[in-house]
Amino acid sequence: MGNLVAIVGRPNVGKSTLFNRLTESRRAIVNDEAGTTRDRQYAKCEWQGNTFSLIDTGGWVVNSDDVFEEEIRKQVMIAVDEADEILFVVDVENGMTDLDMMVASVLRRVKKPIIVVANKVDTNILQYDAAEFYKLGLGDPFCVSAMTGSGTGDLLDMVVGKFEKKVEEELEEDVPRFAVVGRPNAGKSSIVNAFIGVDRNIVTEIAGTTRDSIYTRYDKFGFDFYLVDTAGIRKKNRVNEDMEYYSVIRSIRAIENADVCVLMVDATRGIEGQDLNIFSLIQRNQKGLVVAVNKWDLVENKDTKSMKFFEDTIRQRFAPFTDFPILFVSAKTKQRIFKVIDTAITVYQDRVRKVPTAKLNEAMLGEIEAYPPPSIKGKYIKIKYVTQLPNTRIPSFVFFANLPQYVKEPYKRFLENKIREKWQFTGTPINVFIRQK
């Protein structure tokens, strides 16, 4: 169960610089694919065998230059509600401000580990200036320079040292876990209620610690799976619900703990930036995907073409990953609700599918012969053998070649598409590796 660490503070104290330093400088980002720009504010970090998620809250706020007290307070509140640990960044150059005091007054009431990070300590002399931050009443300020990186290793040691050892929930291993995610008001709770509301007693709650995911075992009508629901989504929050961008932060936990994510899209609003943010989180965590277009019953003047048009639009926006199921549903009329579960189960099965090596080679080597990788500088690339790796999170295939370094992205995509054509891996990402034979 991953820990979530949030960076908070007023504008221009160097939150994003610190974020970049803690993640990229040590190649800590587990996988960086170009996504929406805001993705930069979320990364998975690894430090001394601990993996955790880091969020820079400031980066999620629209036009964060003129952030008012109210906005900052909201950010801090969300971080406080959702994170396991909080890095409160202050700036030694400018010293303490009223906004810092305001943030501190919110944080002093919190029962979570908080580290005051005094940033911009670019010379040793500036360390003495950090002493004024004792006034915040949050313990020792920790001096770093996000620009030069000094002190950041020790800071990571401290962050990791404060994680509580969490009790892992007792979940059956081979039962799939599904998470329903999406922007606010896309109909997440109504679809979850439609799944479960048939008969309340099939719901067995396995609560982790309150702020982690809650797993609901659903065992009925021949289905058997866990619904992952974040506790944070459940309680009507102190924070106003108008905070669209925070629905993304809320989704992080649910996505990280699921096998397959059902992304709810509101048919009356189409695909919005928010949907793309959540989609890219699903992608970067390499989870299975089912897109459910909800409120299809409310779309006016629709004909046979409208579905096709809507489908194409979604695939265009989510490209290059296009091999995922799209369903048109209505949580209100329960139209095609069970089809969603059915499809999620299929995607889960695709995710754990193993293709026998003999079959793989038989099918793929022929394709490679018919369309070999382009030669580079007169060197011919030969791919002799392919196998699927055992025990991986998502289907992963290794092609053995004489010159693996010359096989470029487009050819890997060609191989992936051929694998998808021949075996069903709908809705799940696939890894294609080229290795020295």
Per-residue pLDDT of the chain (437 residues; tens, 9 = 90+): 578 898 888 877 888 888 888 886 443 333 333 333 344 577 778 888 788 888 887 655 554 455 566 777 777 777 777 788 999 999 988 888 888 898 898 899 888 899 999 998 888 778 888 889 999 889 889 999 888 888 888 899 999 888 876 655 566 767 888 988 887 777 776 777 777 665 433 334 443 333 445 677 777 767 788 887 654 444 444 444 445 556 667 778 788 888 999 998 888 888 877 788 888 888 888 899 999 998 888 877 777 788 888 889 889 888 888 889 999 988 777 778 788 888 999 999 999 889 999 999 999 999 999 998 888 888 888 888 999 998 888 899 999 999 888 888 889 999 999 999 999 899 999 999 999 87
Q: What is the pLDDT of residues 271-306, one digit of tens each?
A: 877 788 888 888 888 899 999 998 888 877 777 788
Q: What is the pLDDT of residues 364-398, one digit of tens each?
A: 999 999 998 888 888 888 888 999 998 888 899 99
CB 401, CB 365: distance < 8 Å: no
CB 104, CB 24: distance < 8 Å: no
CB 346, CB 417: distance < 8 Å: no
Query: What is residue 36's predicted lDDT score, i.e. its pLDDT?
Result: 35
Q: What is the pLDDT of residues 212-265, one digit of tens each?
A: 456 777 777 677 888 876 544 444 444 444 455 566 677 787 888 889 999 988
Distance CA 340, CA 345 (A): 9
